[in-house]
Amino acid sequence: MARQPVVAGRAEQLLGAAVVATAPVAGGDISTAVKLRLSSGRSAFLKTLSPAPPQFFAREAACLRWLAEATASGGVATPEVLAVDTDCLILDWVEAGRPTAEAAGSFGRALAATHAYGATGFGADSDGYIGRLPLPNRTLPTWAEFHAERRIAPYLKVLRDKDILSAEDAALIETAAARAPSIVPEEPPARLHGDLWNGNVLWGAGDRVVVIDPAAYGGHREVDLAMLALFGLPQLPQVMTAYDEAHPLADGWEDRLGYHQLFPLLVHACLFGGQYGARAARVAQRYL
């Protein structure tokens, strides 16, 4: 590892500790990521974006800390927040491991514990971000209302305003979203990661699994499971089996995964193009 003086100096300002080496980290598509080696021998992870949207890193740090509240009760691990400012976030470094069956089972049980830790309502105290997109979180009394008004309607509007999604496809999705009360069983709000795709699950050393980059809020727990299934995850069957044993899911949960995938598909349509919007409409058709 070499040492980038500007990056190292910024980290030293925030950490109050000497940075002896830095190295770029590949994989992110929003922020620039760097591994730091501190004079104490500890490693850290710095992500930076300038200019960042308002409260971008502060919201991520708050989400990580909120999820970490469940760790003492067996919830899934998150990296420790070492420092945060308007332009960057510094986290404890997670040493890479392998996606073993043992790690998958532990992750499933830990995710179940995080969900069971609960939330005070459907939503969150503050709006956030999913990717670069704003994520409205103002609470609503039921999951069905929150899903339709905070997770579907805002992104349908973006797609229609930009003429990315046809009026017919938007109407299909909107109609399916309105059917949530008859599709999704009522449950208390779970403590969700909110953006739990494969890239945000780190398989660490010693069969330890750590989740990163949350868009956390109180919601229906099947949402996180649907996100895991949408883009694939190593050892996914083991994760799901362990989860269901620890915190049994309502009958028919596998048939509802597609329904919960409407939101991330719309987000991807906003970020990456209309093919995801058309896919969301095809999924929505199954629930009409």
* Catalytic (active-site) positions: 195
In 3D space, the residue among 128, 66, 110 whose CA is nearest the CA of residue 210 turns out to be 110
Asked if residue 51 has a cis previous peptide bond (ω within 30° of 0), the answer is yes
- Which DSSP state fits 153? H
Between CA 235 and CA 28 the distance in angstroms is 23
Sign of CA dihedral 116, 120, 121, 122: negative
Between CA 43 and CA 94 the distance in angstroms is 9
Instruction: Mention every residue, 6+ apart, whose C-beta is less than 8 A from residue 190.
Output: 114, 115, 116, 118, 119, 218, 219, 220, 221, 224
Instruction: Mention every residue, 6+ apart, whose C-beta is less than 8 A from residue 271.
Output: 131, 132, 133
**286 token code pair:** 């199954």
R_g (Cα) of the chain, nearest Å = 19
